[in-house]
A and B are shown apart, each in its own frame.
Chain A
Amino acid sequence: GENVEQHPSTLSVQEGDSAVIKCTYSDSASNYFPWYKQELGKRPQLIIDIRSNVGEKKDQRIAVTLNKTAKHFSLHITETQPEDSAVYFCAASQGGDKIIFGKGTRLHILP
């Protein structure tokens, strides 16, 4: 079955700098890759997703890139702000199958 590895587990960046979180997946048939953000004590929220027929997708300050050959995908956050502090989860799925989550990255934005 699918296995998703996520790195790093903790990331601290200075406010205004960029943050990058990386994930790898094992099943080459996976074709859907969502990212969720979970602020402390709150529910996870889907923030961006990408499908395997696209190499990059942007939404304001966040972007996701996908390298199907290497089976890895990344979340990029530019011009980080205090409200970006949260745990971020990547995930992968094949077709309509259930998604498999990574273990999460705790992002700290330093003032």
Chain B
Amino acid sequence: DGGITQSPKYLFRKEGQNVTLSCEQNLNHDAMYWYRQDPGQGLRLIYYSQIVNDFQKGDIAEGYSVSREKKESFPLTVTSAQKNPTAFYLCASSNLGQGLRPQHFGDGTRLSIL
């Protein structure tokens, strides 16, 4: 069954701590994305990657970091520099021929501050 798997579903962060959100896809998609969703807000792009070992900042990249060592995987680290990390994080993917347009989303990770 093809799709995007995000883990964990819920995550808690302590003050000054970095946390990493996992995103794995078996759709053989080239492009992957991380979005942040806040109540009453649309999805805002954090980072995206169109090819292995390459990624670009989105609209709200400050306080976040990513890596793309494998085509299937695009983990997101929320660093201690992100002062308001409480949000719902969504990973997505698409074929390159679709432009930077997410086709499939994961189920999301809800991050909260302890």
Chain A interface residues toward B at CB < 8 A: 4, 6, 9, 32, 34, 42-46, 89, 91, 93, 95-104
Contact = CB atoms under 8 A, between A and B. Distances in A.
B99 interface: yes
Given A104-B40, A104-B42, 14 more contacts: A4-B42, A6-B42, A9-B40, A34-B101, A44-B43, A44-B90, A44-B105, A45-B105, A91-B42, A98-B48, A99-B101, A99-B102, A101-B43, A102-B42
Contacts of A43: 90, 105-108
Contacts of B101: 32, 34, 93, 99
A28 B12 CA distance: 42
27 contacts: A6-B42, A32-B99, A32-B101, A34-B101, A43-B105, A43-B106, A43-B108, A44-B105, A46-B102, A89-B42, A89-B43, A93-B99, A93-B101, A95-B99, A97-B100, A98-B45, A98-B48, A98-B58, A99-B100, A99-B101, A100-B42, A101-B42, A101-B44, A103-B40, A103-B41, A103-B42, A104-B40
Interface of B: 40-45, 48, 58, 90, 99-103, 105-108
DSSP class of B's interface residues: helix, strand, loop or mixed? loop
Nearest to B4: A43
Contacts of A9: 40
B94 to A, nearest CB: 10
Contacts of A103: 40-42
Q: Which 3 A-B pairs have the closest CB atoms?
A: A101-B42, A96-B99, A98-B100
Nearest to A43: B105
Nearest to A101: B42
Contacts of B107: 42-43
